[in-house]
């Protein structure tokens, strides 16, 4: 399958071609920038729902339920799960999320990516994969990230809607919210409500949120839900749909798309600069690193030298 055929196959929703291109993204294939550029212009409006929360909150089981619910509503759903990286191979430990049984039975597309040890709970290549999924015709993408914490706010920059999941009796869940993650949640879900204690957890969250009003006017709901029994799932889907309409009416989808393009441009430039640095003749980059390590040069002087060789020294007259 040549390049043109690969692009056409992805646009036609061919899952084998999609899997191949995602692997190309993960492996930083030299053709991937060209591929993303071709598909970006054809990328439809895709609703990305980021699901985050502390370990043990039942995120995967809830994603499983949500994926099936939206498929039944006639939406084309994909699940992108960001897994913790293996410290040895760098690959995803959890694979295709074995807990998502209902989604697999419904034929929903599921893909795992390794976080590769990065903070923020989001793999560096995830923006490109979202472009591929959108171009393949998926209009709802459920993005499950590594457990929540202060560093997990990175999902806010990628997802249109952020669902923050916690559970009753999980002290770390409330602590994570207190630690600053609260600001990223558009909707809070208290999962495992069938086990009891959900009322107290929901009340604690609402109390913490009492003095926090969204500048954009959105009032953040707190939903008690059980991924095991399905309790509260309809209410959660309803609140998610309300946030979608809120974004659409307020023009937030276009603003988010503009911000995403800015991030992608910065990422592209950073990757290109890194590539060119490592291709400088005479192992110049390695030599400059060595000089800084041996304290013969400081970082600023070394950086200016490298920029000069890259043709990017704006201080030159």
- Write the CATH number for 92: 3.40.50.300
Phi, psi dihedral angles at 260 (to 5 degrees): -65, -40
Helical axes 3-11 vs 15-26, angle rounded to 10°: 120
Question: Are residues 270 and 242 part of one domain?
Answer: no
Question: Are residues 200 and 183 part of one domain?
Answer: yes
**pLDDT per residue as tens, the chain (317 positions):** 788 899 999 999 999 999 999 999 888 888 888 888 888 766 667 999 999 888 888 999 999 999 999 999 999 999 999 876 544 344 444 544 566 778 887 889 999 887 554 444 455 688 889 999 999 999 999 999 876 554 466 788 889 999 999 888 765 546 555 555 677 889 999 999 998 888 888 888 887 776 455 667 888 999 999 999 999 999 999 999 999 999 999 888 888 778 877 877 887 788 789 889 989 998 899 999 999 999 999 999 999 999 999 985 444 44
Count the Cβ atoms, other than its own, within 10 Å of residue 53: 28
Please count the residues of the chain: 317
Question: Are residues 228 and 159 part of one domain?
Answer: yes
Classify residue 97: in a domain, yes or no.
yes
- The domain total for the chain is 2
Classify residue 6: in a domain, yes or no.
no
Question: Are residues 79 and 99 part of one domain?
Answer: yes
Classify residue 7: in a domain, yes or no.
no
Classify residue 298: in a domain, yes or no.
yes
What range defines the domain where residue 304 resides? 259-310
- The pTM assigned to this predicted structure is 0.82
Classify residue 32: in a domain, yes or no.
no
Question: Are residues 155 and 296 part of one domain?
Answer: no
Question: Are residues 222 and 278 part of one domain?
Answer: no
What residue has token string 């939406």? 75
3-class SS at 254?
A: helix
């Amino acid at each position: 399958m040549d390049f043109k055929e690969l692009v056409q196959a992805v646009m036609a929703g061919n899952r084998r071609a999609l899997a191949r291109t995602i692997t190309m993204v993960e492996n930083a294939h030299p053709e991937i920038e060209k591929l993303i550029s071709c598909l970006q212009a054809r990328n439809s409006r895709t609703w990305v729902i980021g699901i985050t929360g502390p370990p043990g909150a039942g995120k995967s089981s809830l994603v499983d339920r949500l994926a099936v619910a939206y498929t039944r509503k006639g939406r084309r759903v994909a699940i992108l799960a960001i897994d913790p990286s293996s410290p040895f191979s760098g690959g995803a430990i959890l694979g295709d999320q074995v807990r998502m049984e209902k989604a697999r039975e419904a034929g929903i597309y599921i893909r795992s990516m390794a976080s590769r040890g990065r903070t923020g709970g989001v793999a560096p290549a995830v923006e490109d994969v979202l472009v591929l999924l959108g171009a393949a015709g998926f209009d709802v993408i459920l993005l499950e990230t590594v457990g929540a914490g202060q560093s997990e706010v990175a999902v806010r920059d990628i997802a249109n809607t952020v669902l923050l999941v916690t559970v009753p009796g999980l002290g770390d869940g409330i602590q994570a919210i207190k630690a600053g993650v609260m600001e990223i949640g558009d909707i809070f879900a208290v999962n495992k409500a069938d086990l009891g204690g959900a009322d107290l957890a929901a009340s604690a969250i609402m109390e913490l949120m009492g003095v926090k009003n969204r500048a954009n006017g959105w009032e953040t709901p707190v939903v008690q839900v059980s991924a095991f029994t399905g309790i509260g799932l309809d209410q959660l889907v309803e609140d998610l749909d309300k946030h979608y309409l809120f974004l659409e009416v307020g023009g937030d989808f276009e603003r988010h798309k503009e911000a995403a393009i800015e991030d992608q441009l910065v990422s592209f430039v950073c990757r290109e600069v890194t590539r060119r640095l490592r291709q400088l003749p005479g192992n110049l980059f390695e030599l400059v690193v060595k000089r800084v390590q041996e304290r013969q040069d400081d970082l600023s002087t070394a950086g200016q030298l490298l920029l000069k060789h890259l043709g990017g020294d704006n201080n030159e007259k």
